[in-house]
């Protein structure tokens, strides 16, 4: 699977589906797409009729061979590109993509260590790609995912994650604004206590993937190091921009 491709490919929107109140899943047909590993991202380029262009990066929820690419986009207020992708774009519309990018934030079936995935908001997208790849493969490494969201409705792929029925793959949730009825834990940002409770302990030497807004990634990384995880065992990917 080639990586580091630097040319732009034409993508046609094949399907769109609402995912959250502000988010959408997009399926793109990309002739010539070389395939991608779980965890990688691509750049999207949009060109307006007068030639004006904008580029943004999006993580890919799908992986493997094939020329269909799945994205999940969260609309940011005051955004320029995300509102277009979430509200305007329709099947048949075209845009350009470049990638896949990211040999660093990937998971390979040959990895045999425990894996801890920690997602903040739309940071779940590359981690869903990794989770899907783990579940579809013969890999039996212990996996845990901790997904922090504002509220249950704001979670991407909530039903799919809740339906995971593999004793070796546990999903935990954290809510910052609204939680489901009878949620036993306090609302708010993740804390050292909640991370210690909801993640694979440092003693098991997991490889940790953290993805989300910069502030979330920095806070979680500090907590993990304080809990005894070596910095070299924590992979990070920071989201931002609109």
| Shortest distance in whole angstroms from residue 6 CB to another protein | 4
| Shortest distance in whole angstroms from residue 171 CB to another protein | 24
Answer for which of 15, 80, 177, 187 binds another protein (CB under 8 A) is: 80
Segment holding 212, helix H or strand E: strand 207-213
Asked if residue 98 binds another protein (CB under 8 A), the reply is: yes
Contacts of 32 (CB under 8 A, 6+ apart): 9, 67
Q: Which residues pair with 207 in a beta bridge?
A: 115
Distance between CA atoms of residues 133 and 149, nearest Å: 23
CA 126 to chain CA centroid, nearest Å: 3
Of 176, 171, 180, the residue nearest 216 (C-alpha)? 176
Kindly indicate which of the ranges 22-30, 85-93, 128-136, 156-164 contains the residues binding another protein, using the contact rule CB under 8 A. Answer: 85-93
Of 101, 130, 126, 132, the residue nearest 211 (C-alpha)? 126
| Shortest distance in whole angstroms from residue 163 CB to another protein | 29
Contacts of 85 (CB under 8 A, 6+ apart): 24, 26, 44, 71, 73, 75
Answer for which of 20, 36, 116, 236 binds another protein (CB under 8 A) is: 236
The residue with tokens 């993990």 is 224
| Shortest distance in whole angstroms from residue 126 CB to another protein | 9
Answer for which of 19, 101, 174, 200 binds another protein (CB under 8 A) is: 101
Of 46, 126, 79, the residue nearest 241 (C-alpha)? 79
140 and 73 Cβ atoms separated by less than 8 Å = no
Site for another protein in 144-173 (CB under 8 A): none
Asked if residue 182 binds another protein (CB under 8 A), the reply is: no
Kindly indicate which of the ranges 62-70, 99-107, 141-149, 222-230 contains the residues binding another protein, using the contact rule CB under 8 A. Answer: 99-107
Tell me the per-residue interface mask from 19 to 58 with another protein, x by CB under 8 A, - otherwise.
----------------------xxx--xxxxxxxxxx-x-
Residue among 156 and 239 whose Cβ is closer to another protein = 239
| Shortest distance in whole angstroms from residue 78 CB to another protein | 5
Kindly indicate which of the ranges 132-140, 149-157, 198-206, 233-241 contains the residues binding another protein, using the contact rule CB under 8 A. Answer: 233-241
Give the ranges where the chain is alpha helix by DSSP (H). Answer: 82-83, 124-136, 158-162, 192-198, 214-226
Asked if residue 65 binds another protein (CB under 8 A), the reply is: no
Which chain residues interact with another protein by CB under 8 A?
Answer: 1, 3-6, 8, 10, 41-43, 46-55, 57, 76, 78-80, 83-84, 88-89, 93-96, 98-99, 101-105, 214, 235-242
């Amino acid at each position: 699977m080639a990586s580091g491709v630097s040319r732009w490919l034409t993508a046609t929107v094949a399907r769109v589906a609402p995912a959250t109140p502000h988010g959408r899943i997009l399926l793109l047909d990309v002739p010539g797409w070389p395939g991608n590993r779980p965890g990688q991202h691509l750049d999207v380029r949009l060109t307006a009729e007068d030639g004006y262009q904008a580029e943004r990066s999006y993580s890919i929820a799908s992986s493997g061979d094939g020329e269909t690419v799945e994205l999940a986009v969260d609309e940011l207020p005051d955004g320029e590109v995300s509102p277009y992708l979430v509200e305007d774009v329709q099947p048949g519309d075209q845009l350009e993509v470049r990638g896949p990018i990211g040999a660093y934030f990937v998971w390979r079936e040959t990895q045999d260590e425990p894996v801890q995935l920690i997602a903040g908001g739309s940071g779940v997208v590359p981690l869903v790609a990794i989770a899907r790849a783990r579940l579809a493969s013969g890999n039996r490494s212990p996996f845990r995912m901790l997904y922090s969201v504002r509220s249950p409705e704001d979670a991407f792929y909530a039903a799919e994650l809740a339906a995971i029925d593999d004793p070796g793959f546990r999903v935990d949730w954290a809510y910052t604004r609204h939680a489901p009825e009878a949620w036993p834990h306090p609302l708010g940002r993740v804390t050292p206590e909640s991370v210690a409770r909801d993640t694979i302990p440092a003693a098991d030497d997991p490889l940790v993937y953290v993805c989300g807004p910069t502030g979330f990634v920095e806070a979680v990384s500090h907590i993990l190091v304080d809990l005894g995880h070596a910095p070299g065992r924590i992979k990070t990917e920071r989201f931002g921009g609109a």
